[in-house]
Every structure is written in C-alpha cells, then in structure tokens.
Amino acid sequence: MYEEVQDRFTIMIDFFSSIIPLRQEEKELIRQYFHLRSYKKRMFVLQEGDVCQHLNFVVSGCLRMYKDDENGNPHILLFATEGSWINDLDSFYEEKKSFLNIDVLERVELLQISREDIVKLYLSAPKFDRIFRILTEKNLVLLQNRMLENISLSAEERYYNLLSSHPDLINRIPQVHIASYLGVSAEFISRLRNRRARNPLMGN
C-alpha cells in the first residue's frame, strides 16, 4: 500500500519536474505537504456556497467544474483528467464562498494541498512559488483561447477541436456533459457523432 501511494506522488513529482527540475529535498516536500484522497463517482469535491479549501491535482479519474443557472441547468466550464488541476482559485486564495461546483464523473484520486500548507511549501522552497505562477499563466492562456473559440468558431468546429485535443474525453464523458461544455444540445452532439460515424474523415 505504501509503495502504491508513493507511485501516486511520483506522477506529481514528474509533472512539476517537467516545468522546473527539482532537487531530491524539494521532491520530499511534495510528499510532506500534499495528501492523497479518493472520491467516488457523483461525490462533490466542492459545492457552491462552500469555500475551496484545497488545490486539487488529478492522479486518476475524471471530474467536471460547473455552474448551475437559475433553472438548475449545469453549465460546464472545465473537465479534468489525469495530470491536470481542477480548482476554484478565486475561492481558494481569497477565502470566499464559491459560485462553482466540482463533482466526480469517474472515481478519482486527488493529491490535495491546503491553503496553510501551500504557504509552508513556498517558504520551504521558493521554487514552488515560481512553478505555481507558471501554471497560473498557462491556465490564463487556456482560458483566453477558450473564450476566443466561443466567439470565433461554430459549435461544430468547437466539437471537432475538442475531439482533436482531448479524444479520450469523448468516450469517457456522457454526451449530455459534452453538450453542456460546448453550449449545445445533446441532440446536436448525437447528430455530429452519427455524421462522423458515416464519414470518419470529418473534422480531421
């Protein structure tokens, strides 16, 4: 069991090391300050109205981040799978109630760090402050690109972009969630899939 847990930390260590190489003592800090936690399907990692208490790195499984509208319909902002992060940064850093929900689509294992421990991590090794700044910058670029896609591409083009960049999501995530993420109906996604099944070269 201990060796299995250490393997989970290796995934995160490799992730951080791909951004900035880490010394052995810095790798040990990851094991010290991050904690492994499992969530079953349909469990909430964060609910609207709660304060985000942890930053979450996905070791295995799949989650979604979404906001319910006034009619209770979810509008999905983000999917997260292995090797990615899913957090409400505004709630986490400002310690205020979240307007978002994060729930589990597939059983997940997360490596989590609290607000208090991330401060300790930065003080113990300032390199991590730089790493998280780089991650924040990358996330801002991704957000900007998604906003540009939403205003410049058709729903069909956005679907094929998603299929090209994240082909695994199409088979792992229910069609209704893909539709919510793209802002279209499930029937629209179904029609695109049927057309692609008849002509596999579509969208390539």
How many angstroms separate the CA atoms of 193 and 167, rounded?
13
Whose tokens are 């780089």? That residue is 134
Phi, psi of 34 (to 5 degrees): -95, 150
Q: Return the SS3 of 97.
A: strand
Please say whether the beta carbons of 182 and 157 come within 8 A: no
Please say whether the beta carbons of 113 and 79 come within 8 A: no
Tell me, yes or no, if the pTM score tops 0.75: yes
Joined tokens for residue 109? 């294992």
- At residue 100, the pLDDT reads 98
Please say whether the beta carbons of 142 and 157 come within 8 A: no
pLDDT tier at 79, thresholds 50, 70, 90: very high
pLDDT tens digits for 31-68? 999 999 999 999 999 999 999 999 999 999 999 999 99
Once rounded to an integer, what is the mean pLDDT over residues 105-116? 98
- At residue 168, the pLDDT reads 86
Once rounded to an integer, what is the mean pLDDT over residues 158-162? 93
How many angstroms separate the CA atoms of 146 and 190, rounded?
22
Judged against a pLDDT cut of 70, whether residue 105 lies above it is answered with yes
- At residue 204, the pLDDT reads 55
Please say whether the beta carbons of 202 and 195 come within 8 A: yes
